[in-house]
Each structure stands twice: as structure tokens, then as C-alpha cells.
Chains A and B, each alone.
Chain A
Amino acid sequence: MESPLAQFAIHPLFHLPMAGYDLAFTNSSLAMLLAFLATVVVFMVGTRKAAVVPGTLQSVAESIYQFVETMVEDNIGHGGRHFFPLIFAIFTMVLFGNIFGLIPTNFTFTSHIVVTGAIALFVFCLVIVAGVARNGLHWFSIFMPSGVPAYIIPLMIPIEIISFLSRPLSLSVRLFANMLAGHVILHVFAGFCVLLAGLLGGFGIILSLLPLSVNVAFMGLELLVACLQAYIFAIMSCIYLRDAVDVHH
């Protein structure tokens, strides 16, 4: 049986040597490109013939748009309109990456912490940069807890700073761990089917319907997890970006 982690191996499809580095186009890049193209196709075709009574694709596009708009409006507030394109890009990228990863033999780029970590670090840096750009040095008062006794403030400030620093880690690990664990479980149960059929022959094939049905059920669960984790990633980014917009909260 192949190792359940072998599905996450990255291999280059063609090499692209540039300035001493090999900027290879890998299967991960291909999966990202597919997710990007799917997003573009859904939104281009969906909004090309904008009808009052939306068709299937138009209502998909509209409901995703409205969903993200509500999320941004409610979590960042009115000052966060500038961040809508970013949150929308993050949400659709993660959502389509998660869902496309569920197609068998397809690569899941969100199961790599390097991808989720890069997005999370970008959001983290953006909070600092946008916060300082909007509020100046006054922005650093978000580390000042409000409504606590004065003698506890020297203790609370380092705690707040650590809490702030731990955000990109928890944001990226949550998505990465969920996708990794889900795909490993799917692989292990699929491996059981092959193992049973190979060991016991005809009887094994009948018996392998059992892990197969478990796998089908897990596929449904993973679809839910894929959508839910994209939602949580986007909403957490919104909640973190709110710190850049309003300092008093």
C-alpha cells in the first residue's frame, strides 16, 4: 500500500530555470491555476448575461458575491470596503482549491502549510501595514487592553502581543490540518478496499463495499469541511483585518 502521505508529494511538471533558481511549474501550481481559471470562468460566464431572474451560474456567482459582501460588511465594518476584493480572492481561492482537491487524483494545494501560511502571513502583514498607514502610531494601542485594573496592564500587554503574533500560525494550521487529515482518512479507507480485494479475491471485493461506503460518507463530510474551512479562513481574516480599521473596540 502506498503511503497515505504520498498524495501530497510535489513534483515538477516542467522546469523553468531563472537566475540560478529552478522556478518549476509543479502539480501544485497546476492545481492553483485550475482553481483560478474555474473562479474566472464561473464569474465571467455567470455575469456576462446579467438577467433579472438569474440563471444557474449567475445565481452561484451572485450568492458567493453576496455572501462575502455580508461577511465583510458585518465583520470589518463600513471602513473595510477596501478589503472586499482581498477577502473575496482569498475565499474563492481557498474554496475552489478545497473543492477541486476532493476530485480523485487531483492535487489539494491547501493541504500544504506553505500555501496557507503564505496567505495567513500576507493577511498578518497587511493588518500591521494598513493599521499603521490608517491610524499612525496610535494603531499600537490595540495592544492596550481596555477595562482591566491598572496593575494588571504590564502583564496583559505581552499577552496581547503574543496573542497577536500567534494569529497567522493558528489561521494557517487550522486549514492545513483539516485538509491534510481529511485526505489522509480518504486515502486510508480507499487503501482498505484495495487491500481486501487483493488479499481475499472475490469475497474480498464484496467485503470491500464496507470501507467504500465509509469513504462515500467521508466524501460528503469532506465537502462540508472544505466549504466550512474556506468560510472560517475568510471570516478569521475579516476579524483580524478589523483591527487595522477601527482601533477602539
Chain B
Amino acid sequence: MPLSSNESDKSDLEERLRQATERQTVRSVHAAPAQGDSSVGIAARSGIEFVAAIVVSVGIGFAADHWLHTSPIGVLVMLVLGFGAGLLNLYRTLNGIPVSVTSRSPGANSPVADDDEING
């Protein structure tokens, strides 16, 4: 008699385990798009990061030229440096968003959301 009770407990446990796993999977599937959404939101205007660096550096170059009377040199040098800084900004924006917060964005409270995806 105890054996059969044990057996039924075990199958009950297995059933509940299966259900829980299913629930988790469903939740993580639901959570994944939310995570994607917020990374889309961060990426949506990341072109600005690139443009801002070039605008700032060309502005500095223009001012330096105006001040030192070295007309095209400052703008040209700063344009190249600004391009590099813009690429650096872009790289940091797209890779530097900490994963832990992105997966804890509103609507995605599930701890099972696979975190590796964004780091990629």
C-alpha cells in the first residue's frame, strides 16, 4: 500500500514538474520579445550617438580653426577623430547595455529569460 502511494506521489510530482517546466518555457518565450523590444528601443536612435560625436568634434575643429587661423586642417583632423569617436560610441551603445537590466525591463519579470542573447 505505501508503495503504491509513493508511486502515485511520484507520478503526481512528475506531472507537476512537467506543468511547471511548461509554464517556465511559455514564460521565457513571452519574456524574450519584451527583451528584444527594449534592445530595439535603445538601438532605435543610436545613429544619434554617431552623429553627436562628429558634430561635437567638427564644432571643436571649426572653433580651433577660427581661433588659430589654420583653416581646413582642424576640421579635417577632427572629422577623422570624430568618426572614430562615433564608432566607439556606437559600439558601446550596442554592446554596453548591461544585460541584467535589459532582461528586467517592464513586463519581463521572468528570471529565466536567456541573458546571453543580447551580449551576442
Stretch of A7-15, A81-89, A154-162 that contacts chain B: A154-162
Sample of 6 A–B contacts (CB below 8 Å) = A70-B101, A162-B82, A170-B89, A227-B106, A235-B101, A239-B96
1/0 contact string of A87-123 vs chain B (CB within 8 Å): 0000000000000000000000000000000000000
For chain A, residues 219 to 239, give those with C-beta under 8 angstroms from any C-beta of chain B. Answer: 227-229, 231-232, 235, 239
The A interface, classified by DSSP as helix, strand, loop or mixed, is helix
**Interface contact B53-A166, CB-CB below 8 Å:** yes
Assess whether B13 is interfacial by the CB under 8 Å rule: no
Residues of B within 8 A of A71 (CB): 101
Size class of A's contact patch? Answer: 20 to 34
**A165 and B56 contact, CB distance less than 8 A:** yes
Please tell me which stretch of A31-39, A43-51, A171-179 contacts chain B, meaning at least 4 of its Cβ atoms lie within 8 angstroms of it: A171-179
- Determine if B42 is an interface residue (Cβ-Cβ < 8 Å): yes
Are A166 and B106 in contact, with the CB atoms below 8 A?
A: no
A155 to B82, CA, bound (A): 11
CB pair B85–A170 under 8 Å, yes or no, is no
Asked whether, in the complex, the Cβ of B101 is within 8 Å of the Cβ of A166, the reply is: no
Indicate whether A163 reaches chain B with its CB closer than 8 angstroms: yes
- Nearest residue, chain B, Cβ from A164: B85
Partner of A170, one of B48, B97, B104: B48
Measured CB to CB, the nearest residue on chain A to B87 is: A159
Known: A70-B104, A170-B89. A163 touches B42 (CB 8 A): no
Q: Which residues of chain B have C-beta atoms less than 8 A from A22's C-beta?
A: none
Residue pair B49, A170 in contact (C-beta under 8 Å): yes
Q: Which of B42, B81, B98, B100 contacts A158 (CB 8 A)?
A: B81
**B58, chain A: closest CB distance, angstroms:** 10
CA–CA, A8 to B61, complex, Å? 33
Tell me whether A159 and B52 are in contact (CB under 8 A). no
Per CB-CB distance, the 4 closest pairs between chain A and chain B, nearest first, are: A170-B52, A162-B85, A169-B52, A166-B53
**A74→B101 contact, CB < 8 A:** yes
Partner pick for B57 among A162, A178, A229, A231, CB 8 A cutoff = A162
A221 CB to closest chain B CB, in angstroms?
12
- Shortest Cβ gap from A99 to chain B (Å): 14
Whether B52 lies near A173 (C-beta < 8 A) is: yes
| B contact residues around A158 at 8 Å (CB) | 81
